[in-house]
Amino acid sequence: MDVKKIKKKSLVNEVETSDTVKDIDIINKYTLEKLNENDVFTYKVKLCDNEVDRVFDKMSDKFLEAFKEKASNLTGITDHDWSSNNQVSRLYDTEIIVDDTKKNSIGEPYKYVVGKAYTLKKFEDYVNKISAGLLKECSVSFESVEDHCSICGALTTKGDDNVAVCPNGHVMGQIYDDKLAYNSIDSLNDVFEWSLVAVPCQRDSGIIKKNLSKGASKMKKRTFLFKKLFKSKAFETDENKELADEIIKESESDDEITEEDINKLIDENHRLISENDDLKAKVKSLEEAKECDAKTAIVEKYVDNMEPLTPTVKENIMKELDIDSLSYVDGQIPNIDEVFKPIADKYKGLFKEKSTDKSIEAKTKEVKTDDVKAKINKSAISFSISNKDANVVKKKASGISFSH
């Protein structure tokens, strides 16, 4: 049987104002009479996120995605008072934000749903309270199904204190084998409204602070690009001189830095990270290959010093060994005599009689390093890595939270 619940959540932080001139066309899709930018007051609100909240509930990525879709035209009220007279705002767009600079309390990338909302400027008291930061924290009302315990996966129910109860006795908020017990909210059944409230459950949800408009200085493209340049190594090598000249030329522009500029830098940084990871993998592969060649050379020399009677005996002995599993320390295979002892016993009588009791391991260590290097150099590959510095500029997204 599905366990259904209506929950209320919320939070606060900072973002940017909507461009009402551009957004008014979207808003008018939901109106009976056409509005203009002078009629509406727009703002952004963080509706919900993937952080563990005050009652140890946590929304999954799947839930956030479903909420984002269903909440795109959701009504906004205050204090979860379901009255038509209390409908003073409405969402006209939603999106999911991933903040790569921040992790939630269980180590996942921080994600949240942001909504663009509008109200009428004629609601002066409401608008003034939002502008002054008096109305700020936000909470969403929804219905979910099949909430479950993060530790055992059992379906949970809500207690009188609104904290989920696990039938297997796991207490929400407690630690079990280094894992936090929380109520995982994964399946959205319905959304009802979002409210501005006094005390949110999610600590970061709420109206996002507007940009300063009067007297606020915006970073110019020249400042941004020069900062990018000076943090790079563009001036250190002739190879990147052309890049440096290009940045200097771009910096002569007085244009403000745009979102497109930032996204280009982010994309370039991701490309360079991927390229760097590929090169690291190649280097590791080459190092492993060189080490394998070195161990093979040592083993082969050891077998030669055992003086097998025929090449076939030598070949069979080589097949007995898992060279990859052998240790390799300071150019030698430690305890190599012990490694070969069971093999020597197995092939007893197939070696020439020894005229000296000097250990084969000692003789093997006398192999000139040039002999080993000759084996290694057959597969050695040399390459150089030239990389450009890219200063990643990411939009700083504020956390949004919920309230009960």
User: 390: which 2 tokens?
Assistant: 């890219």
Query: Which residue among 170, 186, 209 closes a domain?
Result: 209
Question: Is the separation of the CB atoms in 174 and 49 below 8 Å?
Answer: no
Q: How many CB atoms are located within 10 Å of the residue 33 CB?
A: 6
Q: What does the pLDDT read at residue 174?
A: 95
DSSP state of 351: B
In this predicted structure, what is the pLDDT of residue 118?
93
Tell me, what's the pLDDT at 9?
44
Together in a domain, 22 and 133: yes
**How many independent structural domains does the chain possess?**
3
102 domain residue, yes or no: yes
Residue 122 to residue 364: CA distance in whole angstroms: 92
Strand 164-165 vs strand 157-158: parallel, antiparallel, or unpaired? antiparallel
Residues 297 and 312 in one domain: yes
pLDDT of residue 186: 94
H helix runs in 132-258, sequence order = 221-230, 241-250
The answer on 264 and 277 residing in a single domain is: yes
Provide the β-strand partners of residue 14. Answer: 209
**What was the pLDDT predicted at 112?**
94
Query: By the 8 A CB rule, do 147 and 163 touch?
Result: no
Tokens of 218: 């915006």
The DSSP code sequence of 65-117 is HHHHHHTTT-EEEETT---GGG--EEEEEEEEEEEEEEE-TTSPEEEEEEEEE
Residues 235 and 306 in one domain: no
Please give the residue range of the domain that contains residue 354: 283-377
User: What per-residue confidence (pLDDT) applies to 117?
Assistant: 93
pLDDT at 89: 93
Per-residue pLDDT, 274: 85
Q: What is the pTM of this model?
A: 0.49
Residue 53 and residue 197 share a domain: yes
pLDDT of residue 364: 53
295 in the same domain as 255: no
pLDDT in tens, the chain (404 residues): 343 444 444 433 333 334 444 788 889 888 888 888 889 999 999 999 999 999 999 999 999 999 999 998 899 998 898 888 888 999 999 999 998 888 999 999 999 999 999 999 999 999 999 888 898 899 999 999 999 999 999 999 998 888 999 999 999 999 999 999 999 999 999 999 999 998 888 888 999 875 333 333 344 555 555 555 555 554 555 556 666 666 655 655 555 566 777 777 787 778 888 888 888 888 888 888 888 888 888 888 888 888 888 888 888 888 888 888 888 888 888 888 888 888 888 888 888 865 444 555 555 555 445 555 555 454 444 333 334 443 333 333 333 333 44
Residue 382 covered by a domain: no
Residue 390 is assigned to a structural domain of this protein: no
Last residue of a domain, one of 186, 209, 232: 209
Q: Is residue 264 located within the same domain as residue 308?
A: no
Q: Which residue has the tokens 């110019």?
A: 220
Looking at the structure, tell me whether residues 261 and 335 fall in a common domain: no
Q: Show which of 230, 253, 281 is a domain's final residue.
A: 281
Q: Tell me, yes or no, whether 275 and 295 share the same domain.
A: no
